[in-house]
Structure 1
Amino acid sequence: MGYTYSAALRVAALLGVADHLADGPKTVEELARATDTNALKLYRVLRLLATRGVFQENEDGRIALTTAAEHLRSDAPLSLRRAVMMLTHETLWRPAGSIVESLRGNPPFKHIFGMPFFDYWAQDDAPAEDFHVGMSSMSEAENLFLARSYDFPDGATVVDIAGGFGGLLLRVLRQNPTLHGILFDQEHVLAANRLGELGADDRWELASGDFFSACPTADIYMLKYIVHDWPDEKAVQILRNCRNAMAPGGRVLVMDAVMPTGNEPHGGKLMDIVVMSAYEGGRERTEKEFRQLLNEAGLKLNRIIDTGCYVSIVEAVAAD
């Protein structure tokens, strides 16, 4: 019944419960009035969330924020509210419930929605809980770990492949003042980029295009949550385009989970089920599988960097 927690978490995010508690604990009745909901039913939802440390019921019966619940606030520095709304949206929820279709060779997302995942989100009438907004929210905390875990060479040009709104590139440029950045994505995504927040417009540029066709020339290529979206043959095509475009001595940084052997829990094992159900052929990979994938693209695995979160940095260089 673990899905009941996700359902309750979605309720709290949609209603903005954490925002209503920003100025202190409140009774359930006060929260119900603020969110225009039934007090008893709202209490039952919050009661479940409190068992996981998301909200807390005080001895006087009032509901209070916890450290975890703080991240559901819209104005939190590392707000995960939009990430929760994305991860519990029907476009991920429903395919996960039909994941057996994937095992039978029938992509669950296409089976339900009639088109591939990225085609769905590229529509003009895509839902308000935009995929890219949710990904940006989820990535903010991860980007802290990734940006500080890699020693970028001075003066290098770094391109963020399919970098969305540019949150990762923004973090990297802030921490490395000699770098020049290129945000590479589709035009409609680039229109909402955040790089202006850097306050140094001469240090970055936008480039639109299709990574299956070609990638910009650069010294460092960052591919976060890109390779895991695709089956091997398409992932190789993306990586080969990076290899063909990169400057001498360049590096490709694949930022995905590296699946461990054995039975221990790992965030990548959860993400693997998400990509299996949502994307056609998407998967998380082991070190051995990364080596093979990179070799086919004319690259070789140089090292794997543990970033302190479940997303690792797989550094690749040109094969001899």
Structure 2
Amino acid sequence: MQSQSIPPSASLLQMMAGRWVAQAIFAAAKLGIADRVKDGPVSVEALAEATGVHAPSLYRVLRALASIGVFVESEPGLFGTTPIADCLRSDAPGSLRAFALMMGDAWHQRSWSDILYSVETGKPSTLRLYGVDTVFEYLAAQPEAGAHFDEAMTGFATQVHRAAVASYDFSGVRRLVDVGGGHGALLAAILSRHPEVRGVVFDQPHVVRGAQPNLERAGVAARCELIGGDFFRAVPGGADAYILSAIVHDWSDEDAAVLLQNIRRAIVDGGRLLLVESVIQPGNTPDFGKLLDLEMLITCGGRERTEAEFRALLAAAGFRLARVFPTASATSVIEAVPA
């Protein structure tokens, strides 16, 4: 809602400056400033010397970020950390440093600069810019950008997983398949909390191989199986629960329906399907998912969905939406059962 004390034109200018803020955060993340000030305030001269940049220009970046709470200028030219800056530390649980780097990467900036193509055609701008249907194909051939993306998704997912595990009761589940489970972080968190559950990490063969170290560190490897495959062809059968975290939003309704139909064929009677996704809020309610929806449109042709849209998508695949569990993150756990 528009503040009574800020003119509409000033509010609009602040919104349009959001890209400036993101790029300033990118610069600070690239230079590792949050790591360098975590133990106490550091002078801009020392920071510039350590990072090999122009001290007066670095000061201007940090001054701007301090004005919005990212850092704090405790004395002239002396910068320290804040709770927001701590999220940019490379050693922070669920660090958002890689997410900031991804947001500033050239491919991401260029993709958003071509938003009108996506609005005009309904197709991701990556199709015109890079000749690929989704950004995943492009990133596979770009090691540095791909690494930023993978790390960004890991940091974001850590927060989502923690919230999902805390918000949903997995008791009663015997065998849980994490479809598109990547390196097993979500399944490790669930199995650590529920020792009676056995699990399967299912993803592409080259991806799922990286799950073993995570499962061993969590002490759950003995209760978990790794299976490689293509979820558009089939998923492992015989489980009483399947979970997909931030997978369905990557795909159009048509592609998502194929994936969910494969799960419907594999799930046992009385089983449950769990989707960890943003659920778009109605009307003018502020919602991070509404902005994330644009990211999906531009980069991969996917979409975020309302509860009604999830209900229809699930019904088309032979499921009935049972309940939606909000979490402390920007996502919810959607529980569905065979119809």
**Shorter chain as normaliser: what TM range?**
over 0.9
- Confirm whether residue 148 of structure 1 aligns to residue 166 of structure 2: yes
* 8 Å CA contact 1:161, 1:222 repeated in 2: yes
Work out the CA distance in 2 between the residues paired with 1:162 and 1:89: 25
SS at match of 1:263: coil
2:183 aligned partner: 165
1:308 aligned partner: 328
- Confirm whether residue 119 of structure 1 aligns to residue 137 of structure 2: yes
Q: Measured at CA, do residues 127 and 308 of structure 1 come closer, stay the same or move farther in structure 2, by a change above 3 Å?
A: closer
2:9 aligned partner: none
- Confirm whether residue 25 of structure 1 aligns to residue 45 of structure 2: no
* 8 Å CA contact 1:28, 1:63 repeated in 2: yes
Percent identity over paired residues: 42
Work out the CA distance in 2 between the residues paired with 1:36 and 1:22: 19
* 8 Å CA contact 2:203, 2:227 repeated in 1: yes
Indicate which of 49, 73, 76 corresponds to 2:89: 73
Q: 1:182 Cα shift? A: 1.0
Q: 1:195 Cα shift? A: 1.7
Q: 1:61 Cα shift? A: 3.1
* 8 Å CA contact 1:120, 1:126 repeated in 2: no
1:205 aligned partner: 225
Q: 1:167 Cα shift? A: 1.6
Work out the CA distance in 2 between the residues paired with 1:254 and 1:101: 30
Equivalenced residue count is 318
Work out the CA distance in 2 between the residues paired with 1:11 and 1:90: 13
Q: Normalized against structure 2, the TM-score is what?
A: 0.89
Q: Measured at CA, do residues 214 and 170 of structure 1 come closer, stay the same or move farther in structure 2, by a change above 3 Å?
A: same
- Confirm whether residue 277 of structure 1 aligns to residue 295 of structure 2: no
SS at match of 2:281: coil
- Confirm whether residue 243 of structure 1 aligns to residue 261 of structure 2: no
1:212-231 equivalent positions in 2, closer than 5 A? 212-217=232-237, 218-231=239-252
2:281 aligned partner: 260
* 8 Å CA contact 2:94, 2:157 repeated in 1: no
1:108 aligned partner: 125
Q: 1:250 Cα shift? A: 1.1
- Confirm whether residue 296 of structure 1 aligns to residue 322 of structure 2: no
Work out the CA distance in 2 between the residues paired with 1:88 and 1:222: 31
SS at match of 1:216: coil
Q: 1:125 Cα shift? A: 4.4
Residue deviations 1:63-115 (CA, integer Å, cap 9, x gap): 00001111111112332212222233233332122111012214201211121
- Confirm whether residue 11 of structure 1 aligns to residue 32 of structure 2: no
Work out the CA distance in 2 between the residues paired with 1:268 and 1:240: 25
Match of 2:259, as an amino acid?
I
Q: As a proportion of its length, which structure holds more helix?
A: 2
Q: Measured at CA, do residues 175 and 232 of structure 1 come closer, stay the same or move farther in structure 2, by a change above 3 Å?
A: same
Work out the CA distance in 1 between the residues paired with 2:279 and 2:233: 26
User: Gaps spanning 5+ residues in structure 2: where?
Assistant: 1-16
Work out the CA distance in 2 between the residues paired with 1:127 and 1:140: 20
Query: Over aligned residue pairs, what C-alpha RMSD do you find?
Result: 1.6
Q: 1:31 Cα shift? A: 0.5
Match of 2:156, as an amino acid?
M
Q: Measured at CA, do residues 68 and 289 of structure 1 come closer, stay the same or move farther in structure 2, by a change above 3 Å?
A: same
* 8 Å CA contact 1:132, 1:164 repeated in 2: no
Match of 1:134, as an amino acid?
A
- Confirm whether residue 83 of structure 1 aligns to residue 104 of structure 2: no
Structure 1 range deviating more: 217-226 or 286-295: 217-226
Q: Measured at CA, do residues 222 and 155 of structure 1 come closer, stay the same or move farther in structure 2, by a change above 3 Å?
A: closer
Work out the CA distance in 1 between the residues paired with 2:206 and 2:56: 43
User: Gaps spanning 5+ residues in structure 1: where?
Assistant: none
